[in-house]
Amino acid sequence: MSRKASPTRNPLLHALPTEQAQARRFGKARTARSTAILEDYVELIADLIESTGEARATDIARRLGVSHPTAINTIARLKREDLATARPYRGIFLTEKGEALARRVRARHRLVLEVLLALGVPRETAEADAEGIEHHVSEGTLKAFSEFLKESRVKKAS
């Protein structure tokens, strides 16, 4: 049974990409979702250590809005991936690899946030949106964001 295209559909907006291109895009999104969780934890652990001197599973769970067992499971994953270490009753600490990831995630977050603010997005919305976008944006897009901000600063200065 064949379906006829609806006369009201815009073929340019509804044309499917090739199977390979679409699979690549969905694969990239799945990978980004998987790493986004680790990135959120690493970024939060770095923030907690910087602001309070320690990162405890209880604090991580509360700040991320997850259950304590979920936080413990993800912290175990961080340890398996050599991003963090933990000692009983001592909290969670980032490894060098974890600290490097936290720096990269923070830089991406700041860049995405700056672009959203430059576009006129209200701060609260920009903060919330940057949390999601930062994990899914490519290096090429980040470079374009950086160039956009440089150009907009030059225009404002002149």
The predicted-structure confidence for 79-92, as pLDDT tens digits, reads as follows 999 999 988 778 99
Tokens of 96: 């060098």
CATH 3.40.50.2300 corresponds to the domain 101-157? no
> What percent of the chain shows pLDDT beyond 90?
63
Q: C-alpha angle with apex 36: 32 to 41, nearest 5 degrees? A: 160
* Total Cβ atoms within 10 A of residue 83: 24
For the entire predicted model, the pTM comes to: 0.75
Angle at which helices 57-64 and 19-52 cross, to 10°? 130
State the span(s) of the chain assigned CATH 1.10.10.10: 20-100
Q: For residue 121, which phi and psi values (nearest 5 degrees)?
A: -70, 130
State the span(s) of the chain assigned CATH 1.10.60.10: 101-157
20-100 adopts what CATH topology? Arc Repressor Mutant, subunit A (1.10.10)
What is the mean pLDDT of the segment spanning 61-71?
96
Q: Distance (Å, rounded) from C-alpha 16 to C-alpha 108? A: 30
Check whether 155 has a pLDDT greater than 80.
no
